[in-house]
Amino acid sequence: MRREILIVAGILAGGLCLTTNHCLSADSTGGKKPITAGFSQIGAESAWRTAETESIRSEAARRGVNLKFSDAQQKQENQIKALGAFIAQRVDAIILAPKVEDGWGPILKQAKAARIPVVLVDRGVNVSDESLYTTLIASDFVAEGRMAGQWLAKKLDGKGSIVELQGTTGAAPAIDRKKGFEEALRNYPDMKITKSQSGDFNRAGGKQVMEAFLKASQGSDTKIDAVYAHNDDMALGAVQAIEEAGLKPGSDIVVVSIDGVKGAFEAMVAGKLNCSVECNPLLGPAAFDAVEAVLAGKPVPKKTIVKDRLFDQSIAKDSIATRQY
């Protein structure tokens, strides 16, 4: 049976350590040597992603883990190659932030055959055999989308036309944040998503798609009341597009997004973004807790859900100073 635990953001940020400074694994002679872990990261598409990379790198350094880092430059095939290289190098454990959900079965089978545990961080995978990975540490993306939708319904009094900037096609947060948001809107028949397109989780993509949405709305009967962006970087790109179109983001068009990065807080304080649902990227401590535990033969939960909060303009100013990313 699946065991799930909840970790509050504060515990994650502070580091829920099972052991102290040095992570060790047993060598073939029974002696102890520092752990070597491979980390395959998607890329650097957003401020969130950079914060996650930094959290994993700094936690590895803090614990004396020898970390092999690979930046896939947004390509799943590069991630698969990186995992192949980690397996060939016989690392003790692999940490994987998978770009998309599908297509991981064969490489994860190779890792399992080599007895290398795989810790998934941030995004999940679609595999028929869940024993192919050890654990997943991630936010509940459906809940994030739902929170954004409920907040927006309240803000718009249950009536309005919404454009949606989706994340990377096939990625767990894009699929689930859409699902959660639509779920929330089901209770509000007068709230409609009139356009929806991927901006690939980056600022340039969000700006470009929003420009196209604004252009299409000119001269049409459907005015855009709100933008729902699957992450802050796309929302900040949309804010720029709205301003360049001569409109006021945050008042002419309501902007709601997900991540809770510093840039979003600054935009909320400036009145240009209305709400951001937090998605905590500080996954390093929990990831290495899992690595250490599994290498020590201790049980680890199949899934750890990171708990997130919602921030809107009413609390942004008071919270900005304490934001860690």
CB of 156 to ligand AHR, least distance (A): 23
Q: Which of 9, 41, 48, 108 binds ligand AHR (CB under 6 A)?
A: 48
* Residue 241 makes contact with ligand AHR by CB under 6 A: no
Distance CA 168, CA 179 (A): 14
* Residue 122 makes contact with ligand AHR by CB under 6 A: yes
Distance CA 148, CA 257 (A): 7
21 SS3 class: coil
* Residue 123 makes contact with ligand AHR by CB under 6 A: yes
* Residue 173 makes contact with ligand AHR by CB under 6 A: yes
Of 9-17, 46-54, 242-250, 314-322, the segment contacting ligand AHR by CB under 6 A is 46-54
Token readout for 38 is: 């491979």
Q: Which of 23, 49, 164, 205 binds ligand AHR (CB under 6 A)?
A: 49
Output 41 or 150, the one with its CB closest to ligand AHR.
41
Distance CA 259, CA 147 (A): 12
* Residue 231 makes contact with ligand AHR by CB under 6 A: yes
Measuring CA to CA, which residue among 276, 277, 262 is closest to residue 144? Answer: 277
Angle subtended by helix axes 262-269 and 232-244, to nearest 10: 40
* Residue 258 makes contact with ligand AHR by CB under 6 A: yes
Distance CA 217, CA 6 (A): 43
* Residue 226 makes contact with ligand AHR by CB under 6 A: no
Distance CA 231, CA 142 (A): 13
- In terms of residues, how long is the chain? 325
Q: Which of 39, 151, 181, 201 binds ligand AHR (CB under 6 A)?
A: 201
Residue 6 phi, psi dihedral angles, 5° rounding: -105, 135
Write each residue from 270 to 289 as x if it is in contact with ligand AHR (CB under 6 A), else as -, in one continuous string. Answer: ---------x----------
Binding residues (CB under 6 A) for ligand AHR: these are 45-46, 48-49, 122-123, 173, 201, 231, 233, 258-259, 279
